[in-house]
Amino acid sequence: HLLEPFSVHIDFESGLLSPDPVVLVRRLSSLAGYFLQNADTDSEVYSVHEIRVPAERDHLLSSTTIVLPGKVGDEYYMTKGHFHANRDRSEIYLTLSGEGLLVMALENGTTVTKEMRPGVVNYVPGHWAHRSVNTGSEPLVFYAVYIGDAGYDYATIAERGFPVVVVDRDGGPSVVPNPRYLA
Ligand code: 6PG
Ligand code: NI
């Protein structure tokens, strides 16, 4: 697929792109069942701003994600999290602003958690489900680059959850076992 070269500007503070991203907004209503407690509002939790290229093996897809600060109960706002549909496809995250935790898990339950803060690159190898959690008081903004045909498997996480959850304990983030995880 032969494309014309192009450029996009990212505002590192806000994560907004120009020109013309594809924007997806996730509100609490579209995250029902993802948090341990039920939410009583329909606030926005995060948005994804994707640079348009064909979702094919010979392209690199990329996007910014803006996870707003907030909690449901004591659980910090986070993305749904997913495996890639093509499980072996890897991904790179570069945090632009804010702070958070990147939770990664294998199907067998092995879990690794890494800090996200401005300037940090997190490498997400294939086969690791990934979820970003905003543990700060400002938006968590990161830029992700992934192989064009990675695709999304949300169903596995929707059914089983992640092995751990990130909760506010005494004013700071704590990574604890998920009581609802289906091993
Ligand atoms: C991807 C990236 C990333 C992710 C967003 C939202 O594969 O596209 O991991 O862009 O999709 O941060 O997270 P969810 O896709 O889990 O909702
Ligand atoms: Ni991904």
- Interval 12-70: pLDDT, tens: 999 999 997 899 999 999 999 999 999 999 999 999 999 999 999 999 999 999 999 99
Q: What is the pLDDT of residues 148-171, one digit of tens each?
A: 999 999 999 999 999 999 999 999
Each residue's pLDDT tens digit, 167-183: 999 999 999 999 999 99
* 79 CA → ligand 1 middle, Å: 7
Residues with CB under 5 A from ligand 2 (ion): 91
139/142 Cα distance (integer angstroms): 10
Contact of 167 with 179, CB cutoff 8 Å: no
Domain count for the chain, please give it. 1
106 domain-assigned: yes
The reply to whether ipTM tops 0.90 is yes
Residue 1 lies in a domain: no
Q: Is 28 in the pocket of ligand 1 (CB under 6 A)?
A: no
Q: Is 65 in the pocket of ligand 1 (CB under 6 A)?
A: yes
Sheet containing 129-134: which strands, arranged edge to edge?
111-116, 100-105, 129-134
In a domain, 33, yes or no: yes
What's the gap in Å between 81 CA and the centre of ligand 1? Answer: 7
